[in-house]
Structure 1
Amino acid sequence: MHYLKCGHCGMHSALKSEYVTFCDHCSKKLPVTFAAWQARHPEGSFDTFSREAGISEEQYQAAIRKSQHWIFNLRQKAALITVVVIFAACGTLGAWYGPGLIRMLGKPAVSPAMLETSGWRTFRGNVLRLQTPVSLSPVSRNDMPNVRLKAFAGGGKAEGLEISMQEAIFLSESHIELDPASKEVADALAQQAGVSQFSYNEKRIVLNGSPAIWQQGSYVLNHSAPMEFSSLVVVKGGIRVQVLITHQGNDSTGRRVAEEVLKSAQMN
C-alpha cells in the first residue's frame, strides 16, 4: 500500500485504487490523481504512479510515529508552561504575603471589640464577597505573563491581625483544579523567609454550591514569634482566590474573628 499526501491538510490518504481523487481527511481534491498522471504517462501503470507520487507503508508509519512524537512533545511543553506559570504565580503570591507575615511580628492581641460584627463592612471581589472588621484596600501588583493579579489588604499593628485577599487570573487556563491550588498557596506561605515549624489542617466546604478549601495553621516567625493563620481558597474557571488572615499565636479572639470572616464568605 502507498499513501498520497494532501496539499490542503497535510494528511496522507491510502491509494487503494486508481479512482482515489479526494482526501480521506478533509475531502478536498488531492494534488495529483492517477487519471491526470496517466495522461502524461500513457504507458504508466497504477503501481508505478503509486510509487512515484506516494510514499510506502514503511515511510507512512514512520511519518505517523514522528507526528505522534511531535504532538506528545507539544503537549509536554504546554503542560510544563502551565506548571511554570502556576508556580511563578505562587512565587509572586509568596512575595506579596511575605511582607505581611513580617509585619505581624510584635503585633498586640486582637481586641474583643472586633467581634462586634454589627460594625463590619462588606468587601466584594470579582469572585468572593465577605464581611470584614477592617477595610480592604487595593495593593499595587505587577502582572506576570499569562497571569493577572489583584490584591487587597487591611488591618495592621493596631488591629492585631491582617486580612488579605488575592485574585490570580490565569489568562491561558479556562479551568483550575481546587486541590492543587490550595496546596500551592500553602506551600508559598511555608517557604517565606523567616517562617519555620509550618503546619496546617484543611477541610472542604461549600459556598453557594461551589467547593472551597478552608485551611487553619500555625508557624513560627524569625524563630521567636508564634503565629496563626486561617485561609480560604476557591477557584472559578481560570481564577484562583485566597483570603488569608494572620494573627499572633494562641490568640483566641483573633482565631474567632478569622473564623467569622471566613464563615461570611459567599460566591458572587
Structure 2
Amino acid sequence: MHYISCSQCGKLVEIKSQYMVFCPECKRKMANSYPEWSKRHPGQDFAAYLSEVAVSETALKGVREQRRIGRAIVRGRAARRALVALGIAVVVTVLGIGGYWGWQRYNRSASIKALLNKAWQVSYYEDLGATVKFPFPLEKESAFTVDTLQRENDRLTGDSLQRQVVLGAVSRRWAEPGTVSVTASRIDYEPDFGVDRDMATRQILQTMLQENGLQGFEFFRNDYSIPNIEARSLSGSYLLGVEAFEFRALMAQYGHTVWYFMVAYPRSKPEGLLVAERFFKGILIDRQLRSPSDYKAE
C-alpha cells in the first residue's frame, strides 16, 4: 500500500487505485492525484508516480513506531540506554538538529504541502560530490569545519586506537520555519586511519545533547540500498524544549569519504516523511571525487 498527502487538507490518505481523484477525508479533488500528476508528466506510468509522490506502508510504519517512542520519551518512561552510533554521523545529526533553535523566533506560517507541490530541481554540488533533488538550493554552513569535527571525534574516541583524522568537511543546509530542515554533508578521513562507522557515543552524545538543549534523543539504523555504495539509514526522534521532532537520515560511504543526509520535521507534521523519502530518492553519489584540498578554500 502507498499513501499521499492530500493537496487540499494535508492528511495522509491511502491510494486505492490509479483512478483515485477525490480525497476520502475532505471529499475534495486532489491536485496531486495520479490523473492530475500524469498531465504534468506525460509518458510516466503509475509506478513512477508512486515512486515520486507517494510514501510506502513500510515507511509509514516507521513513523508510527517513532511516535510510540516519542510518547514514551515525553512521559519520561523511555529508559536511558547506551547508544551505538555511526561514528561521526551522530555529530552531524546533532549539529543539524541544533539549527531548529532559530525556528522559535519565527511565525511558523509555511507548510510542507506547499514544499511538496513546488517543482523539485536537480542540483550537483561539487564540494559535496553529490547530486540532490530539492526545490531550493542548499546553503553552505560556515560552522561545519574540520577543526570542529576533529575535536568532537577526539572527544568520542579519547585515547583509543579508534581515533580518526578528519581531512575535509563541508555541509549544506536548507530550513524553513514550520516545514523541514534538510542537511547534506561530506567528511573525508585520513586513509591510514580508515573509517569506523560504529564508534560508541559514550563521550560525546550526552555533552552535545546538553549543549544544544536536546532531550530524549533516540535513533535506530537500517541498511539502505545505493548502487555500488555502502549505506545505512537512520530514523529517530528528539525533544527541543517542549516540542517533539522526528528525523530521517542516510549515511553513505565510499572509500574514506562519508556522506550524511538528513531531513528533520515536527512530529505534528508527519507529511515531513514524504519530503524525506523524496529527497533520498534523488541522491546520486559522485564516485569521481575531488581532493578535500580542492574545495577547502571555497
State whether TM-score is above 0.5. Answer: yes
CA distance in 2, matches of 1:266, 1:191: 34
2:133 corresponds to: 131
What per-residue deviation string (whole Å, max 9, x for no partner) do you get for residues 89-142 of structure 1? Answer: 668646743541323447456331322364333243544322112210212243
Tell me the percent identity.
14
The residue that corresponds to 1:225 in the other structure is 243
In the alignment, the residues of structure 2 paired with residue 184 and residue 211 of structure 1 have an alpha-carbon distance, to the nearest angstrom, of 26
User: Is the radius of gyration larger for structure 1 or structure 2?
Assistant: 1
Per-residue deviation at 1:155? 2.4
Partner letter of residue 203 of structure 1? Answer: N
Task: Kindly provide the CA deviation profile for residues 63-108 of structure 1, in whole angstroms up to 9, marking residues without a partner as x.
Answer: xxxxxxxxxxxxxxxxxxxxxxxx9966864674354132344745
CA gap 1:93/1:185 in 2 versus in 1, 3 angstroms: farther
Residues of 2 paired with 1:207 and 1:182: CA distance?
26
For 2:252 and 2:115, the matched residues in 1 are separated by: 26
Following the alignment from structure 1 to structure 2, what is the Cα–Cα distance between the partners of residues 184 and 235? Answer: 24
The 1-side partners of 2:255 and 2:204 are apart by 17
Query: How much has 1:257 moved relative to structure 2?
Result: 0.6
Normalising by structure 2, report the TM-score: 0.50
Deviation at 1:231, TM superposition (A): 0.7
The 5-angstrom pairing of residues 111-122 of structure 1 reads 111-116=112-117, 118-122=119-123
Q: Which runs of 5+ in 2 are unaligned?
A: 1-85, 148-164, 287-298
Q: Report the TM-score when normalising by structure 1.
A: 0.55
Structure 1: unaligned runs, 5 residues or longer: 1-86
Question: What's 2:46 paired with?
Answer: none
Cα offset for 1:146? 4.1
Which of 279, 291, 294 is the equivalent residue of 1:261?
279
Question: How far 1:252 moved relative to its partner?
Answer: 2.2
| Residues 234-253 of structure 1, C-alpha deviations (whole Å, 9 max, x = no match) | 11211121111111113122
Alignment of 1:103-118 (within 5 A): 103-105=102-104, 107=108, 110-116=111-117, 118=119
Whole-angstrom distance in 2 between the partners of 1:256 and 1:184: 34
Q: Is the counterpart of residue 142 in structure 1 residue 145 in structure 2? A: yes
Bigger fraction of residues in strand: 1
Go from structure 1 to structure 2 and tell me whether the alpha carbon gap of 1:233 and 1:92 turns closer, same or farther (over 3 Å shift).
closer
Write the letter of the residue equivalent to 2:141: V
Q: 1:192 to 1:208 in 2, by over 3 A?
A: farther
Distance change in 2, residues 1:250/1:91 (3 Å): closer
- 1:195, 1:219 within 8 Å by CA — same for their partners in 2? yes
Match of 2:229 among 206, 210, 232: 210
Q: Is the 8 A contact 1:229 1:245 kept in 2?
A: yes
Partner of 2:171: 151
Tell me which protein shows more helix as a share of its residues. Answer: 1
1:82-93 equivalence runs, <5 A: 93=92
* Superposed CA RMSD: 3.7
Q: 1:100 to 1:254 in 2, by over 3 A?
A: same
Q: Give the aligned length.
A: 181
Distance change (3 Å), C-alpha of 1:91 and 1:206: closer
1:255/1:182 CA distance change after superposition, 3 Å: farther
